[in-house]
Amino acid sequence: MSEKMQHRVDGVLGAILILLMIFALYMAFLGAPTEKTMGDLQRIFYFHVGAAIAGMTAFSVNFVSSLAYVVRKKRRWDNLALSAAEIGVMFFVMVLVTGPIWAKPVWYVWWTWSPRLTLSLVLCLLYVAYLLIRKYIEDPERKAMVSAVFGIIAFIDVPLVWFSIRLWRDHHPSAMLETGGLSPAMRPAFFTCMAAFLVLLIYLLRRRFYLQSMRDDLEWLERQADNAR
Amino acid sequence: MKKIWAIFRKDLLIELRTKDSFNAMLFFGIVVLVIFSFALASVRDFIRSAAPGILWVAFAFSGTLGLNRMFAAEKENGCLQGLLMIPVDRGIIYLGKMLAATVFMLICEIIIFIFTLVFFNLTVWQEIPWLALIFLVGSLGFAAVGTLLSAIAVNTRMREVLLPLILFPVVLPILINAVEATNIVLNGGGYGALRLPLSIMSVFTIVFATISFLLFEHVLED
Amino acid sequence: MTNIIEVSKLAKHYGRTSALRDLNLSVAAGEFIALFGRNGAGKTTFLRILAGLSRPSSGTFRIQPDGGAKLQYVRGAIGYLSHHTSLYADLTALENLRFYAHLMDMPSDDGFLAERIATVGLAGREKEPVRNYSRGMQQRLAIARAFLHNPGILLLDEPFTGLDQAGSDFFCRYLMKAKSEGKICIMAIHDAGLGYELADRLIVIEKGVAALDVPRASLTLAEFQKKYKAITEN
């Protein structure tokens, strides 16, 4: 696809995104019924979980791109992996922020070591580590390869962390932050928000990837200019 | 294979001669114990229940120190480069280093554990074989992924700072399960309950040892 | 005769800066190349890439000691000597070589190793820790280590730095012997005179390309030095 075509796609995607977001907001705040025990505060759940799903998808993209880079060593896989990691961290920060906002008024605690929240925290740590590794290596080929290896390791670690947290959590029982009191009537709102976040993910991935490719091109141009001197 | 043994033996030989790593790891582990003794003075009566956590924090920190030194020492004089020029499968280098790291950690863990018994006035006799098993699997798992990550960190600008940052999130399953298992052994809970944490730790070790073995060539550089 | 080493459009960059831009080179068996260039011109980068220690950003290179080789076997054919000695300071010379011998499938009995140590002029001192050696002695042992496996291709990065007169003479003789054995040698060097004397092909790397690539026989030393100066002062 040519560049102009890409921009058109992004434009259309952006329009869909805005519409979907507005619809999602409507569904979450007006369309969905009010939860009986937690009241309107429970509505944050749609965004909390939507962000978590989008974040997890982002990290899956990172895993696949990292694998692809190790096998093929093509720059665009590295660019995609980087974009996915950054966006994933962003989504999980949203999860970590909405968690306490939800928890405090309802359960009077800022933080609970519930499995999902704990896992979100560890995921943030893992992928911030990924970004740190990238920051401290200068050689571009080495940076790409090493972070790809770490991306693979981090992703495979996730199920192990999840099971360990579940085991550990038996000693730290927590409040019902898990199900969020989801009744069948709330499902439309839930799925709408999930769809909105996934479209957001795709949109952001495309733009971030594009930005990174542009940076590569810019570097190439600067090099040509330097060499011509 | 004799090459793995050659690498392992070389690290052991240097260590026996200089004792640089051992001293640092041991000292640091004991300092962590002392700090915890002071920090948790108010729960002295319940120290036995806190012991598993304290123990594994000390092991983790001291282990990280050891892992750091493992590759940092190779970078002096460009020994890492020397290793890279040898026509040997990188996985072999990984295995040799991993075994050396495990052994170093185990030796330090035993000594730190003895200090723990003394500082916290604990008695453990029939629990020892179980604890030995937990220490072994835990150290193997720690070293399995730590060796790879140490090789990554050693080539970055901030090597000593970076290793803990990238190691701890990844090695969390080992720490959680090791503390849990140690707790079961020290504070009662029936040995049957050990099956789950030990299984997770074993799976972790096998999975990451395999992945690290396969991917080591991509991260080992100088 | 086919070329043993083929380098095509080799490039290596770090962001904006390029260490190598477009390096092209072919090396036949038995050639002895002296590599010149300013500091930072790309000599070390080039040698590291050939040795397999660094990955190029683009371009290819092929090393075929016996026509077609897997990377493992290629490594076995290369001996690389850099600024670092790659010696373990706390081990003795014998222990150092024994370690490398084990890993390179070379004989590791004391007799063989002691003989190698004697070849580089360190007889009698093989049981001392390398920490006690002088710089010159360490360099000699590094030479023994780098070429323990009798590689057919020698990559040397300024090997004469830090060597005293005796050490330099020794190494010159060593290189002459390697040359007579038909080994390929690519040596980065600063001293134009010494490089001219030893090599049969002179290459100057400037701005990431081979700015000059001539057989030694085609110029006198003075002519070469003039051209070298002209290139590097541009």
Q: In the 3-class helix/strand/coil scheme, how is B160-222 assigned residue by residue? A: HHHHHHHHHHHHHHHHHHHHHHHHHHHHCCCHHHHHHHHHHHHHHHHHHHHHHHHHHHHHCCC
Q: Under an 8 A CB cutoff, do C55 and A140 touch?
A: no
In this predicted structure, the answer to whether residue C106 has a pLDDT above a threshold of 60 is yes
Q: In a 3-state reduction of DSSP, which class is residue C55?
A: coil
Report CB contact under 8 Å: C88, B77: yes
In angstroms, what separates the C-alpha of A138 from chain C's closest C-alpha?
7
A153-165 burial code (b ≥16 CB/10 A, e <16): bbbebbebbbbbb
Contacts of A68 in chain B (CB under 8 A): none
* Secondary structure class of B56 (helix, strand, coil): helix
Model confidence at A178: pLDDT above 60 = no
Looking at chain C, which residue has its C-alpha nearest residue A216? C15
Chains that touch A (3 or more CB pairs under 8 A): B, C
Distance CA A153, CA A166 (A): 20
Rounded Cα distance between B174 and A43, Å, is 36
- Residue at token pair 């970004």: A131
**What number of other Cβ atoms are within 10 A of residue A217's Cβ?**
10
How near does any CA of chain C get to the CA of A96, in Å? 35
Can you give the pLDDT at residue A6?
85
Measured between alpha carbons, how far is B95 from B13 in angstroms, rounded to an integer?
17
Instruction: Note the ipTM here.
Output: 0.91
- Under the banding of pLDDT at 50, 70 and 90, the label for residue A197 is very high
Predicted confidence (pLDDT) per residue in B69-122, tens digit = 888 888 887 888 888 888 888 899 999 999 999 999 999 999 999 998 888 888
Q: Count CA atoms closer than 13 A to B107's CA, side-chain side.
A: 17
pLDDT interval class at C121 (50, 70, 90):
confident
Residue A173's pLDDT band, with cuts at 50, 70 and 90, is low
- Residue B166: the pLDDT is 94
pLDDT of residue B139: 96
pLDDT of residue A170: 67
A126 part of contact set with chain B, CB < 8 Å: yes
B181 has pLDDT over 80? yes
pLDDT tens-digit readout, C127-165 = 888 888 888 888 889 999 998 888 889 999 998 887 888
Closest CA to B178 of B110, B215, B130: B130
- Inspect the interface and report whether the beta carbons of C13 and A141 lie closer than 8 Å: no
Q: pLDDT category, C68, cuts 50, 70, 90?
A: low
**Band (C73; pLDDT cuts 50, 70, 90):** low
Shortest distance, CA B42 to any CA of chain C (angstroms)? 46
Q: Which helix (H) or strand (E) holds C153?
A: strand C153-157
Cβ distance C18 to A227 less than 8 Å, yes or no, reads yes
Q: What is the pLDDT at residue A182?
A: 67
Q: Does B204 contact A160 at a Cβ distance shorter than 8 Å?
A: yes
CA atoms within 13 A on the CB side of B172: 26
Q: Does A59 touch chain B (CB under 8 A)?
A: no
Strand C184-188 and strand C153-157: pairing?
A: parallel
pLDDT band at B59; cut points 50, 70, 90: very high
Distance CA C117, CA C148 (A): 10
Say if the Cβ atoms of B148 and A153 lie within 8 Å.
yes
Which pLDDT score is estimated for C60? 87
Answer whether residue A95 shows pLDDT above 90: yes
Against chain C, the chains showing at least 3 CB pairs within 8 Å are A, B
Q: Which of A70, A122, A164 sits opposite B200 (nearest CB)?
A: A164
Give the pLDDT score at B135.
95
What's the residue count for chain A?
A: 229
C86: Cβ–Cβ under 8 A, 6 or more apart, which residues? B77, B78, B79, B81, B82, B85, C142, C145, C146
pLDDT score of A175 more than 70: no
Q: To the nearest whole angstrom, how far is the Cα of C184 from the nearest Cα of chain B? A: 17
**Mean predicted confidence (pLDDT) in A124-148:** 93
How far is it, in rounded angstroms, from Cα B101 to Cα B146? 9
Q: What is the pLDDT of residues B130-148, one digit of tens each?
A: 899 999 999 999 999 999 9
Q: Is residue B154 pLDDT above 80, yes or no?
A: yes
What's the pLDDT at B172? 94
Q: How far is B147 from chain C (nearest CA, A)?
A: 20
B172 and A137 in contact by Cβ < 8 A? no
**What distance in Å separates the CA atoms of residue C234 and residue C226, rounded to the nearest whole number?**
12
Interface test with C, best of B15, B85, B219 (most C CBs within 10 A): B85
- In the predicted model, what is the mean pLDDT of chain A? 87
Contact (CB, 8 A) for C97 and C117:
yes
Binding-site residues on chain C for chain A (CB distance < 8 A): 13-18, 21, 54-57, 207-208
Output the CA angle C137-C142-C147, nearest 5 degrees.
135
Number of residues that this document lists for chain B: 222
Determine contact, residues C56/C11, Cβ cutoff 8 Å: yes
pLDDT at A181 over 70: no
Nearest-Cα residue of chain B relative to residue C104: B86
The whole-chain average pLDDT of chain C stands at 86
Give the span between the Cα atoms of C96 and B17, in whole angstroms. Answer: 14
Distance to chain A for C171, nearest Cα, Å: 34
Indicate the pLDDT class of residue A180, thresholds 50, 70 and 90: low
pLDDT in tens, A19-69: 888 888 888 887 777 776 767 777 788 888 899 999 999 999 999 999 999
Compute the average pLDDT of residues C198-217. 88
Could you read off the pLDDT of B157-173 as tens digits, one per residue? 887 889 999 999 999 99
